Amino acid sequence: MHPRVLYFAPGSGLGHLNRALAVCLELRAFGVSSRIVTNSPFAEGIAHAARFPITAIASAQWLQDAPAYLEAINPDLAVFDTFPWGLRGEWFRCDIRCVYMARRLRWETYLEGLGAAGKLDGFARVIVLEPLSADHQQAVSVANDVVHLPGPVRLRPGAVNTPVPANLQRILDSGKAWLVVHGGVQSEVNQLVAEAGTHKPEGSSLAIVSPWDGAFDYYPATNLVAQAAHVITGAGYNSMADMLHRPAHHTAIAFPRRFDDQAGRLAQPRPDQEGTRTAVAAIAELLVC
């Protein structure tokens, strides 16, 4: 049976894929079948861990193959995460009913990369995942149907029930564990570790959760953070969402990104509730209209 929803989550890391999984797993509760499409190198591992269908398309073929895949599957609804017209304009001519998931974005940089801009009023619905920059919000304001979430989309702890390695669990069980959680480059991990070394109380242990050698390569981090005395991360969307309910136990550092406005996100007041259920309901509602 073909999925009713295709969720396109392009990105070279875990962030877009993690958010897509958070939404698509919860869509099951509404009886909605879905599939994630991504160019992330983590696609196969996450599909196995979550037991969820994920189609991987190589970055070099994305511009041609992603639209062709959408046309071949012909779902009831397509969801485009972060980039409304795709990475390089592949969705400028999309004839399928679609939803735009608007995350904070360096909007002018994105438009410059496209070389053009489409109109957001062509979307069946725009779902605003967090406060946007002023120029991005202005672009969204022309859309016909906009849903603002009360807080971030967050992968529910335990939704992907990956066993915690015994040696990592022993560190967490101490009650004094500091965690560095980051999927970025080694130099950024080193910066977070240095931050932990500066502030970590004497007698506290440190565990690093990262794909890099010498760290705990564990997914998803949302299963761990409630057990840590303190967590240090970048200011990416998912890291901030994971620590939504424990702001006093979280230190975030804004790293420079081409499109992700981490500094802008960090400057915003933290919400006190999440918006996953609202986002999923807003998508499912379109399938019964």
Render pLDDT for 64-117 as a digit per residue (tens, 0 to 9).
999 999 999 999 999 999 999 999 899 998 889 999 999 999 999 999 988 877
**Domain region containing 184:** 166-267
Residue 126 is assigned to a structural domain of this protein: yes
pTM value > 0.85: yes
Closest CA to 221 of 24, 48, 63, 14: 14
Domain co-membership, 19 together with 72: yes
Domain co-membership, 115 together with 230: no
Domain co-membership, 138 together with 234: no
Q: Which residues have C-beta within 8 Å of that of residue 82, sequence separation ≥ 6?
A: 10, 11, 16, 101, 102, 103, 105, 259
Domain co-membership, 146 together with 250: no
Gap between the Cα atoms of 46 and 288, Å rounded: 30
pLDDT band for position 1 (cuts 50, 70, 90): low
> What CATH number did the domain enclosing 184 receive?
3.40.50
Residue 136 is assigned to a structural domain of this protein: yes
Domain co-membership, 53 together with 130: yes
- Side-chain-side CA neighbours of 209 within 13 Å: the count stands at 26
pLDDT band for position 259 (cuts 50, 70, 90): very high
User: Is the distance from CB of 98 to CB of 79 less than 8 angstroms?
Assistant: yes
Domain co-membership, 135 together with 15: yes
Domain co-membership, 9 together with 126: yes
Residues 134/139/143/149 CA torsion (nearest 10 deg): -30
